Amino acid sequence: MTNKDQKKPGRTPFSAMSRRDLLTLGAVTATAVAAPMIIRNGTAKPMGQIIKDNYDTDILVIGSGFAGVFAAVEASTKGQRVLLLDKGSVGWSGLSPWASDSRPFDPTIYDRDEWMENLSTNCEWINDRGWLDIFMDESMNIFETLDSWGVHKCKPFERSKVFLNKLQQAGVEIIERVMVTSLLKDEAGRVGGAVGFTFDDSNDECKSVIVKAKATILCTGAGAYKSPGFPNWGQTFDGDAMAYMAGATITGKEFHDTHGTFSNYPAAAYENWSWAQDVTGAFIMVGAPEKASGGLTIDEALQAAQSGVSRGGHGPGGAGGPPPEMEAMKTSAEKNQSYKGKGFLAREDLILDFGEPPSGPPPKGHINKGYHVGGATSGMGVHKSEGVFNADHSCRADGIKGLYAAGDALGSMLCGSSYPGRGFSSYGSAIQGRIAAQTACADVATLEEATVTDAEIETKVAQMWSPRERDKGYSPSWVTQVLQGAMTPFHILYIKEERRLEGALSSIEYLRKHVVPNLVASNGHELRMAHETASMLLNAEMKLRASLYRTESRGTHFREDYPARNDADWHCWVLLQQGADGAMQLAKHMLPEEWRPDATASYRENYPRAYPGEEAFLAAQGIDVASQS
């Protein structure tokens, strides 16, 4: 099914927009497209004779954050030869160096049903309950494992040394600063490795890296057009792009992260979380997730959209006083205090966060940065909800043999349509990395090995080098700026509406069709940027098409033209896959009936967060939010 099937009656399709509409769209983007950066590549040269480093391994792991490290160590302990590639350095790429806290489920003190009910309500009933069960079964083991490794004795950004040491002890072969660009497949469609290139910021020439593997695990993390702050690097959707181009199904693209920032100093994103980087030891979030408050929701973005962003240091529209969720935080903190000293929380070496609001005087040197609003990130998906689709909790990429994914590269829907509270992401990644390795190791022992031909390798290598060989074309930096101009506006990713989404989509389609095939790179650094830009543009199309396709609002996906939940049609995950003709295909994966909200409860009880215009929209359909859903 395509988005055309979801058109509202009487809505003019984008292809039939008037000349005046197109001129209006052109005026908006005139600054960006008036002077495209067509440049000459003074260092263009044939790359066919460049050194090729060839590797053969049992398990190839791409990415070395929480998911990648646990996958590589697990596979190695099971006797497999493991090669790990990372675009940066072990533990320093993506979001892993930023992770500071965790929320292990201790069955001796927590109620399993409460966690399931609260998280499902917060994530608006489309989270994967199977993955939450697995999380609750295994999170304490991850806690103990990390503690035994020494992770709890250092600050978050020092964790990389611990990870590197553990990988070396396990005998994992590690190659850093390698940009992986394509997955290799045999004639039967099985994934049998990957190709990439080494790069450096010096003048040293790149080398091809060609890996043949019996199984490939993507632990490539998330993506973003703007990251939430230091220390986040390398978030460019590489894994999603490689998997999609290889034929895998992708999910979760309509839901977006809403990390906050300040209205007066929006670039000060790091200062929201600077405290987290100073923690030494095990930082534990206490208690169950809340039903509505907490986490990363769309609330702050909607508040700013409704009444503007104050520059006077108070709330939207100049309103003063604490945010309304502060009282809910106080109530939650009081309840969570009851867990203190029980179960694993009785340990003296833990740093406990009960979810209380900040107290005491502002830190020394603090300046008034204004109201807290959504927008520190742009384009990043909800943790554990965006990426390669797998329906059976095995971490296999659906429909493709030899490919697996874990962490933020896996669209596991552990958290569904919004992030329910700090503490789920890093442990979720570790659990999934270990499961992906266990599944891959079992498959390697029984499945026929892929036979990748030399022709397949040469084709992928030639595609990889093409920006270095072009005499002239578009600068990756310029294309990325145009991409950000199209995708980062508040009214595209946060506050959505059909006509605006279609306008942005037309720009992204043009860039993918006419600009990406003509990107140029004068060195390894720019070659990396060229491939990252192509990955980001592909994901921009996924995000826009998924946002158009889901004609309802849910979690962090808010449609002004459909401002209410619609369980009858959209209690599902949206899947994207490349069709035989190369076009992007969309479909629904309907969820089990037993995962739906309580039919005897009212709409508002099931969905405590309200969207602007929601009640009037439902009233027009004869639905009262206070009545039974």
Contact 349, 281 (CB under 8 A): yes
Question: Could you tell me which residue, 295 or 22, shows the higher pLDDT?
Answer: 295
Closest CA to 156 of 285, 279, 286: 279
pLDDT band for position 13 (50/70/90)?
A: very low
Other residues' Cβ atoms within 10 Å of the Cβ of residue 561: 16
Residue 315: the pLDDT is: 58
Residue 325 has pLDDT above 90, yes or no: no
The more confidently predicted of residues 35 and 445 is 445
Q: What is the DSSP string of 4-73?
A: GGGPPTTPPPGGG--HHHHHHHHHHHHHHHSS--EEE-TT----TTS-EEEEEEEEEEE--SHHHHHHHH
In this prediction, residue 10 carries a pLDDT of 37
Choice between 314 and 295, residue whose per-residue pLDDT is larger: 295
**124 falls in which pLDDT band (50, 70, 90)?**
very high
Nearest Cα residue to 568 out of 546, 538, 544, 588: 588
Cβ pair 220, 63 in contact under 8 A: yes
How confident is the model at residue 311, as a pLDDT? 60
Q: Which range, of 21-30, 314-323, 379-388, averages the lowest pLDDT?
A: 21-30
The predicted structure's pLDDT at residue 97: 86
Q: In the predicted model, is pLDDT for residue 70 greater than 60?
A: yes
Q: Which of 403, 375, 373, 402 is nearest to 388 (CA)?
A: 403
Q: Output 305-308 pairs: Cβ under 8 A, ≥24 positions apart.
A: 305/490, 305/491, 305/494, 305/495, 305/612, 306/612
CB 553 within 8 A of CB 534: no
Q: Is 430:406 a contact under the CB 8 Å cutoff?
A: no
**Sorting pLDDT into bands at 50, 70 and 90, what band is 624?**
very high
Residue 9 has pLDDT above 50, yes or no: no
How many Å apart are CA 570 and CA 269, to the nearest integer? 34
- Neighbour count for residue 427 (Cβ, 10 Å): 24
Q: Is the pLDDT of residue 421 over 80?
A: yes
pLDDT at 5 over 60: no
User: What local confidence, expressed as pLDDT, does residue 313 receive?
Assistant: 53
Q: How confident is the model at residue 166 (pLDDT cuts 50, 70, 90)?
A: very high
| Cα(370)–Cα(221) distance, integer angstroms | 32
Q: Is the pLDDT of residue 119 over 90?
A: yes
Closest-CA residue to 211 (of 22, 398, 82): 82
Place of tokens 């101009």: 485
- Could you identify the residue written with the tokens 């279609």? 502
pLDDT band at 587; cut points 50, 70, 90: very high
3-class secondary structure for 109-134? CCCHHHHHHHHHHHCCCCCCHHHHHH
DSSP 352-406: EE--PPP-SSPPTT------EEE-S-BSPBPTTTSEE--SSSS-BPTT-TTEEE-
Range from 308-317, 379-388, 486-495 carrying the lowest mean pLDDT: 308-317
Q: How far apart (Å, rounded) are the C-alpha atoms in residues 482 and 507?
A: 9
